[in-house]
A and B are shown apart, each in its own frame.
Chain A
């Protein structure tokens, strides 16, 4: 659509402008544009395939029986596809843990959902404060958010390990939720404040003239209008919680039934069994939900990211 419009714009512009200059005839110009489009599409296909290759290879390996994995000539697609790798992962035989994939999936899902909800609530409150009020330390707070989101987890993990050991939050999903929520807050607040600021103030004021209190104004007016923004920002808390590695690796020491998915995949990988079919099946199952989620919210995310990344 936009590309077509732009193309039309080009032609219109060229029609009015190029008369003064000597330019190739229309037929030749048309042909050269077709070649150009063809070349661009070719490059596009190559870029997409190269980008997709590791993912395709992961999925294809997951369906390969052991005999095909170590054959002297690897084939892109399994000759005799099998679900054996997936069954072994799902029934818990694969990594030798005897714990089903579903347990780890449940842990990850629990941690992720609670993190997303907590981070959304806390960051929406803060976003309203930042977008709707002028107060002292407002600029300082915003700058603090920018700085704090850069603090490296590799550094924080050392004192937090000591602190959480002291209060009994090691080997606990609650401990991870607290950390992931805090980690997700800066970017969530930063992005959400743009969405809150975009809601016209008049709407709220009109509602409060009609007698709605701040709580009602919030739920009836602000919340529905900010909801798309909440979806966009929740992607970031989702990714934080679903992908996080270093804290889970360090804190989940003794209780394997508490492993989140990345730690399960790491454990399986780190055993050095070279059961690549099984490892790829596990990481496929771990990866697919995020990919679906990403594709589902693609538009919103790009919009939110751009608002956050380009403007801040």
Chain B
């Protein structure tokens, strides 16, 4: 750009821009900008081509758009366009023939969707998805909030210890967490089955737990393991965010309530909760989005597409699209349903964000 080749001395000596009002003379920003604009269009610039480009960009105010361009290309090609393709594919019969180009594109209208809606496996997968998401969202928010409150009331050293521990859970990659929990719940040598088999009967323990197979015995045991994984990985974020929110509440408010005889329970619902409501709303919506259609953990725990009655929507879509013979159209129709459900939640999230002044 022109400015880089200009000598600093010249800029400083140049008089204020013609037409600049006297009160603007002392305002460095405006002066600099006016000077720059003039310098860029000066015919004597060392690199005229660059200078002209710079002037063109400035005249048409293209600067921000040029800066956004790389991100728009990346997001457009890898995120936005494929989403549209999901929509297109969902109305096509797209299999191996279309993939290799041997067979022509076949438009099939809504038949992918009617197939899905008549498939009992879809309704089973939907049920698994919704029930699991509801349970996990509630548990994650509850445990996360409690741990956030705990961190807020602990001394500094203890708080660092606990938050470092939760941070490690958070840092554990999804695949590691899934594999570790699979091992914890494994029927041969897993610690959970062993502990349950040693528990006294009145606590629900007993010898029948030995070698109990959590991952192949239907949806309920498998999703119990999944609940542990997702809650374990998810609550630290909630805790840290709640803690940050708690720190913004003036201590005097809580103290005043306490002096006036309010119980901690009442002061939470009377002061903390109303003040933190926007944060909780965002956390709720984010949790729904994250926990709806969890793929990696479910894929690994339910035996890599091995147990159809344990499918959720994501596994069901993936199975349709990638298990031989692949039906990308059917998979896309399912993916579209999943995307639409998530986008509806996202609208709520965006509205909550806008209301909090995030778009400013």
Please state if B172 and A287 are interface contacts (CB–CB under 8 Å): yes
Q: Which residues of A contact B322 (CB under 8 A)?
A: 161, 250
Please state if B180 and A283 are interface contacts (CB–CB under 8 Å): yes
Please state if B358 and A40 are interface contacts (CB–CB under 8 Å): no
Q: Which of A74, A142, A153, A213 contacts B191 (CB 8 A)?
A: A74
**Nearest chain B CB to A9's CB is how many angstroms away?**
6
Q: Which residues of B contact A269 (CB under 8 A)?
A: 179, 182, 300
Q: Which residues of B contact A52 (CB under 8 A)?
A: 165, 168-169
* B346 proximal to A (CB < 8 A): yes
Q: Which of B168, B176, B304, B350 has the most CB of A within 10 A?
A: B176
- Provide 29 A-B residue pairs closer than 8 Å at the C-beta atoms, listed in order of the A residue: A3-B156, A4-B156, A9-B255, A13-B259, A47-B150, A51-B165, A51-B169, A52-B168, A54-B232, A57-B183, A73-B194, A126-B68, A129-B67, A144-B75, A146-B350, A150-B345, A152-B335, A156-B86, A158-B331, A183-B79, A185-B74, A209-B11, A213-B1, A279-B183, A283-B180, A287-B176, A309-B241, A310-B282, A311-B357
Interface positions, chain B 326-360, Cβ under 8 Å from A, are: 328, 331-332, 335-336, 338-339, 342-343, 345-346, 349-350, 353-354, 356-359
Closest to A5 in B: B251
Q: Which residues of A contact B358 (CB under 8 A)?
A: 142, 311-312
Interface positions, chain B 60-87, Cβ under 8 Å from A, are: 61, 63-65, 67-68, 70-71, 74-75, 77-80, 82-83, 85-86
Q: Which residues of B contact A122 (CB under 8 A)?
A: 70-71, 74
Closest to B160 in A: A298
* B177 proximal to A (CB < 8 A): yes
Please state if B74 and A182 are interface contacts (CB–CB under 8 Å): yes
Please state if B335 and A154 are interface contacts (CB–CB under 8 Å): yes
Q: Which residues of A contact B174 (CB under 8 A)?
A: 243, 245, 262
A306–B244 CA distance with the chains assembled, in angstroms: 7
* Stretch from A80-88, A200-208, A222-230 forming part of the interface with B: A200-208
Please state if B78 and A294 are interface contacts (CB–CB under 8 Å): no
Please state if A150 and B342 are interface contacts (CB–CB under 8 Å): yes
Interface positions, chain A 1-29, Cβ under 8 Å from B, are: 1-4, 6, 9-10, 13-14, 17-18, 21
Q: Which residues of A contact B300 (CB under 8 A)?
A: 266, 269-270
> Interface size on A (CB < 8 Å)?
121
Please state if B155 and A41 are interface contacts (CB–CB under 8 Å): yes
Q: Which of B3, B171, B245, B343 contacts A213 (CB 8 A)?
A: B3
- Known: A41-B158, A276-B189, A294-B170. Contact between A143 and B350, CB under 8 A? yes
Please state if B240 and A305 are interface contacts (CB–CB under 8 Å): yes
Please state if B175 and A295 are interface contacts (CB–CB under 8 Å): no
Closest to B247 in A: A2
Closest to B190 in A: A74
Closest to A260 in B: B175
Number of A-B contacts (CB under 8 A): 345
- Known: A43-B150, A122-B71, A152-B339. Contact between A287 and B86, CB under 8 A? no
B interface list, Cβ under 8 A from A: 1-4, 6-9, 11-12, 28-29, 31-32, 36, 61, 63-65, 67-68, 70-71, 74-75, 77-80, 82-83, 85-86, 89, 94, 99, 147, 150, 153-156, 158-159, 161-162, 164-177, 179-184, 186, 188-189, 191, 194, 232, 236-237, 240-241, 244-245, 251-252, 255-256, 259, 279, 282-283, 286, 289, 293, 295-296, 299-300, 304, 314, 317-318, 321-322, 328, 331-332, 335-336, 338-339, 342-343, 345-346, 349-350, 353-354, 356-359
Q: Which of B154, B155, B179, B338 contacts A279 (CB 8 A)?
A: B179
Please state if A215 and B237 are interface contacts (CB–CB under 8 Å): no
**Nearest chain A CB to B258's CB is how many angstroms away?**
9
Q: Which of B156, B186, B188, B295 contacts A245 (CB 8 A)?
A: B295
Please state if A135 and B82 are interface contacts (CB–CB under 8 Å): no
Q: Which residues of A contact B259 (CB under 8 A)?
A: 13-14, 17-18, 21
Closest to A147 in B: B346
Q: Which residues of A contact B12 (CB under 8 A)?
A: 209-211
Closest to B69 in A: A125
Please state if B65 and A135 are interface contacts (CB–CB under 8 Å): yes
Q: Which residues of A contact B154 (CB under 8 A)?
A: 3, 40-41, 44
Interface positions, chain A 161-183, Cβ under 8 Å from B, are: 161-163, 165, 178-179, 181-183
Q: Which residues of A contact B244 (CB under 8 A)?
A: 302, 306, 310
Q: Which of B83, B99, B162, B279 contacts A155 (CB 8 A)?
A: B83
Per CB-CB distance, the 8 closest pairs between chain A and chain B, nearest first, are: A213-B3, A211-B8, A182-B78, A155-B335, A312-B358, A159-B85, A129-B67, A133-B64
Q: Which residues of A contact B162 (CB under 8 A)?
A: 44, 47-48
Closest to A298 in B: B167
Q: Which of B71, B169, B299, B343 has the most CB of A within 10 A?
A: B71
A1–B339 CA distance with the chains assembled, in angstroms: 46
- Known: A55-B169, A122-B74, A305-B241. Contact between A152 and B314, CB under 8 A? yes
**Nearest chain B CB to A270's CB is how many angstroms away?**
5
- Known: A183-B78, A245-B174. Contact between A40 and B339, CB under 8 A? no
Please state if A283 and B176 are interface contacts (CB–CB under 8 Å): yes
**Nearest chain B CB to A276's CB is how many angstroms away?**
5
- Known: A9-B251, A182-B78. Contact between A55 and B168, CB under 8 A? yes
With A150-B343, A159-B85, A284-B176 given, can you name 11 additional A-B contacts, CB distance below 8 Å?
A17-B256, A61-B183, A147-B343, A152-B339, A178-B74, A182-B79, A185-B71, A205-B28, A245-B174, A283-B180, A287-B173
A4–B251 CA distance with the chains assembled, in angstroms: 13
